[in-house]
Structure 1
Amino acid sequence: MLKPLALALAAITASVAAHAAEPARALHCGQLFDARSGKLLDARTVVVRDGKVAEVLPGRASVADAQSVDLSGHTCTPGWTDLHVHMGSQSSPQSYSEGFRLDDTDYAFRSVGYAKKTLLAGFTSVRDLGGEVSPHLRDAINQGLVDGPRIWAAGKSIATTGGHADPTNGYNDALSHLIGPPGPTEGVINSIDDARQAVRQRYKEGSDVIKITATGGVLSYAKSGDAPQFTVDEVKAIVDTAKDYGYRVAAHAHGDEGIRRAVQGGVTSIEHGTYMSPETMSLMKQKGTWYVPTVYAGRFVADKAKVDGYFPELVRPKAARIGALIQDTASRAYKNGVKIAFGTDMGVGPHGDNAREFVYMVEAGIPAAVALQAATIRAAEVLGVDDQGVIEAGKRADIVAVPGNPIEDIGAVLKVDFVMKDGVMYRQPQG
């Protein structure tokens, strides 16, 4: 009789082999969302072979050597990308104490479930912006050991002393003296040299992207949620060093001064952007900086701030004040012509609920087609890849289907019942 470990390895081997031997498929889509034009096309047949889109045919075409998948009552879109998640955690009233009680292994096991929920919700790719678990989860997914989205992992976020991603915020004197002040290895910098070292450490640890916390944050155990926390020169040092390794830089930022410094320093994207001024929006357009609003997170924390005991009292007023503003900022940014891409900050809210961001974007006055582009072709542009985000011959076969017409009713995105990633079907309509 096989021992448990041998059984587990046999199951993993069988899963990898099954995925590698996926048959050709013909997806008969009632409508297809063209991410380049932002328009819905009529019926199309998407032929998938070896994990790629082989061709896109008009109507309901017959493909002799491919298994047919009937999506005639559905709209097919490219797989969605969430550019701001934290796969290793999920907020709760216990989140702050768990950091002292749980090990990395505990967070890793939790992340496996979060990853599958995210994939089944239609998100075939994510950018994980902070968490030591994510590079390992990425590797496990790539190796076929667990099911989940394709991950671009930042690993440990880079902060300044006392900043939003300082891992020792809230520690008492005894713990602080025992551990000592964190430095670039732990992602905390206070100089240009520190900044360079912190990026190189992320490279050593296998990150795919760099995340900085350019201002205070909502959920960190610190008073300010918006004060600037890097100099322009420090941001430039991070960005320039990141370029040496082919990395792009995402900047968490709420306060306008911190946003402006991050944009001047050359970051690729601003996350949250709560207090973004018209002048800073103009600078972003000039520099080509992307904005990832994360309206979902703002709505979630503002709602939970009303619940006694959900957040520590130091955090609660920040959540109530800042969270409620992000949706309006997204509206103003769209009207001002700032480039917008899709992100939720999921991990703040429950994983698998990512698609609700589409609904909030539309509520903010962003057209449904633009919101869908933000999670497909625009997200691919932010990541700097050209093999996904559209349904075209030669691209990755990442395809999501929802019943009905999401352009007319954006709520359809909450009813995903077909998910394909790299040609593998993870979800399909029943009956």
Structure 2
Amino acid sequence: MSLLPFLYASFMLASLGAACPSHNGAEMQFNYTLATDSNEKFRSMQRNIPLAMGKIAINNVRVFDGHRLLPTTTVVIENDKIESIGRCSNANTHIDGNGGVLLPGLIDAHAHPENVTDLQDLSRYGVTTALLMACFQPQLCQSLQNHTGLVDIVAGSLPAAAPGSMHGNIIIMADGNGDRLVTNASVAASWVDDAVSWGPDFVKLIAESPGLDQQTLNVLTKRSHEQGKRVACHASALEAYNQAVTAGADNIQHAPLDTPISASLAQHIASSGQVATPTLTILRAISDASPESRDYTAAEETVRRLKAAGVPIIAGTDANLVQGLIALVPFGISLHEELRLLVHAGLSPAEALRAATSVAAEHWGLSDRGVIAPGKRADLVLLSGNPLEDITATRTIQRVWLAGVEFSGDIGTF
């Protein structure tokens, strides 16, 4: 058994209090070099794929621009950018959208891809950007980036976890020692400096019990901000949620599966400018697997209270593919389920779409995407249905473009 999938499995099982399977050392060996080389070899091959030559006009489409649905129009792609919205007479290629809806490429703001197959699955379902929420080995994570014609990966740091905690034990499994753990507040700043030295896009913290104390979480967050990095903090129980909010984490990952957050805490999150990524897909799966100890309605109610307080909500799935895991979440297809669950929890279809496009891009500093506008990345998803009327219409995918390159594999089916 490879170590990285086991880490992802353990990560979710441990973070939500489930028992972790035991594995001997031989079973847990993971050849990072082989996996990295395989990803990089595929990336090298993909570089031979040409960008779109000249202009491509996608005609007769209703455009959801990341904010609202526009009247029927034409969107023009030139190379990797959106050139214009409106009529185009000098395009090299014209594509009839048949009156469908054109979305900005979808963003999964919490996923754990490991290999090219994961990237392809994300892409075929219209996910053009994914945030890799834990990086145990920088070279492997970097090998998932910059693949022409596939999802763009935004990678986080090694998770910050305490000795003796469930996540701390997972990190020790990765390298056999505890050197990468955060022992106390006095070493927190230097831990951040080391964690960002290879250039991750953001810092990942873990709030759990037992785990990092409040002072340590505070220092980790402060130092990350001094280093110019946003902070995502895991928090799957009410106590942890309070810790993440108090620390000033920019983005709180998950929602409590024990007790909903209070309306006053939701108001505090809103006034502090923090945002939330509930990951309802994985929370529902875990609750379904262990209903006696997990309460999905607490997570749903948390989303309702976040929305009522005006907290920006971002779509993320915690996608991972680990056979036998209590919460198996497939890549790509799961984001469409996340949108459905967000609507069921009280968001309008338009709000759910924004959670996976413009709102996600805005709050992750991805200013070049998340909307359909001139000059932005040509990340686009063409649907035959209208998700503003029925959110499940996001599943009517016809074509996908990733930075101007049309996805060349089979489009995802449902």
TM-score, normalised to structure 2, is 0.80
2:136 counterpart letter in structure 1 = E
Deviation at 1:324, TM superposition (A): 5.1
Q: Say if 1:204 and 1:134 are closer, same or farther in 2 by CA, change over 3 A.
A: closer
Distance in 2, matches of 1:345 and 1:332, equals 22
* Aligned partner of residue 118 in structure 1, secondary structure: helix
Deviation at 1:63, TM superposition (A): 2.8
Aligned position for 1:25: 56
Aligned position for 2:242: 260
Match of 2:103 among 77, 81, 91: 77
1:250-399 alignment to 2 at 5 Å?
Answer: 250-274=232-256, 275-305=260-290, 320-323=293-296, 325-347=298-320, 348-353=328-333, 354-399=335-380
CA distances 1:127-184 after superposition (whole Å, capped 9, x unpaired): 111133576344444154xx53111111421111233421348x9xxx99x945x13x
* Aligned partner of residue 205 in structure 1, secondary structure: coil
Aligned position for 1:411: 392
Q: Say if 1:343 and 1:29 are closer, same or farther in 2 by CA, change over 3 A.
A: farther
* Aligned partner of residue 252 in structure 2, secondary structure: strand
Q: Residue 232 in 1 paired to residue 232 in 2?
A: no
Whether the 8 Å contact between 1:122 and 1:419 is mirrored in structure 2 is yes
Q: Residue 402 in 1 paired to residue 383 in 2?
A: yes
Distance in 2, matches of 1:133 and 1:413, equals 34
1:51-90 alignment to 2 at 5 Å?
Answer: 51-57=80-86, 61-88=87-114
Structure 2, unaligned stretches of length 5 or more? Answer: 1-38, 321-327
Whether the 8 Å contact between 1:138 and 1:152 is mirrored in structure 2 is no
Q: Residue 151 in 1 paired to residue 182 in 2?
A: no
CA distances 1:373-398 after superposition (whole Å, capped 9, x unpaired): 11111101221121111110111111
Whether the 8 Å contact between 1:228 and 1:258 is mirrored in structure 2 is no
Whether the 8 Å contact between 1:135 and 1:155 is mirrored in structure 2 is no
Q: Say if 1:322 and 1:273 are closer, same or farther in 2 by CA, change over 3 A.
A: same
Whether the 8 Å contact between 1:112 and 1:137 is mirrored in structure 2 is no
Distance in 2, matches of 1:330 and 1:167, equals 30
After superposition, the CA RMSD in angstroms is 2.8
Distance in 2, matches of 1:365 and 1:29, equals 32
Whether the 8 Å contact between 1:191 and 1:234 is mirrored in structure 2 is yes
More displaced stretch, 252-261 vs 14-23: 14-23
Aligned position for 2:133: 129
Deviation at 1:17, TM superposition (A): 3.2
Structure 1, unaligned stretches of length 5 or more? Answer: 1-7, 89-110, 216-226, 307-316
Q: Say if 1:133 and 1:325 are closer, same or farther in 2 by CA, change over 3 A.
A: farther
Aligned position for 2:323: none
1:164-183 alignment to 2 at 5 Å?
Answer: 164-168=166-170, 179-180=176-177, 182-183=178-179
More displaced stretch, 76-85 vs 271-280: 271-280
Whether the 8 Å contact between 1:135 and 1:207 is mirrored in structure 2 is no
Aligned position for 2:77: 48
Q: Say if 1:29 and 1:161 are closer, same or farther in 2 by CA, change over 3 A.
A: farther
CA distances 1:321-363 after superposition (whole Å, capped 9, x unpaired): 1445322321232123222111111114111222110111111
Whether the 8 Å contact between 1:131 and 1:155 is mirrored in structure 2 is yes
More displaced stretch, 129-138 vs 8-17: 8-17
Match of 1:198 among 176, 181, 191: 191
2:329 counterpart letter in structure 1 = G
Deviation at 1:76, TM superposition (A): 0.5
More displaced stretch, 131-140 vs 365-374: 131-140
Whether the 8 Å contact between 2:68 and 2:350 is mirrored in structure 1 is yes
Number of residue pairs aligned between Structure 1 and Structure 2: 362
Distance in 2, matches of 1:427 and 1:299, equals 33
Distance in 2, matches of 1:429 and 1:212, equals 37
CA distances 1:303-330 after superposition (whole Å, capped 9, x unpaired): 2337xxxxxxxxxx6xx51445322321
CA distances 1:58-108 after superposition (whole Å, capped 9, x unpaired): xxx3432331122123200111111111113xxxxxxxxxxxxxxxxxxxx
Whether the 8 Å contact between 1:164 and 1:213 is mirrored in structure 2 is no
Distance in 1, matches of 2:57 and 2:232, equals 38
Whether the 8 Å contact between 1:298 and 1:327 is mirrored in structure 2 is no
1:86 counterpart letter in structure 2 = H
Whether the 8 Å contact between 1:230 and 1:258 is mirrored in structure 2 is no
Distance in 2, matches of 1:368 and 1:294, equals 17
Q: Say if 1:286 and 1:81 are closer, same or farther in 2 by CA, change over 3 A.
A: same
Q: Say if 1:29 and 1:263 are closer, same or farther in 2 by CA, change over 3 A.
A: farther
More displaced stretch, 40-49 vs 63-72: 63-72
CA distances 1:226-270 after superposition (whole Å, capped 9, x unpaired): x36333321221122212332100011123332222222221111
Aligned position for 1:163: 165
Deviation at 1:272, TM superposition (A): 1.2
More displaced stretch, 156-165 vs 349-358: 156-165
Deviation at 1:115, TM superposition (A): 1.2
Q: Residue 246 in 1 paired to residue 228 in 2?
A: yes
Identity among equivalent positions (%) equals 26
Whether the 8 Å contact between 1:26 and 1:47 is mirrored in structure 2 is yes
Deviation at 1:25, TM superposition (A): 0.8
Whether the 8 Å contact between 2:112 and 2:134 is mirrored in structure 1 is yes
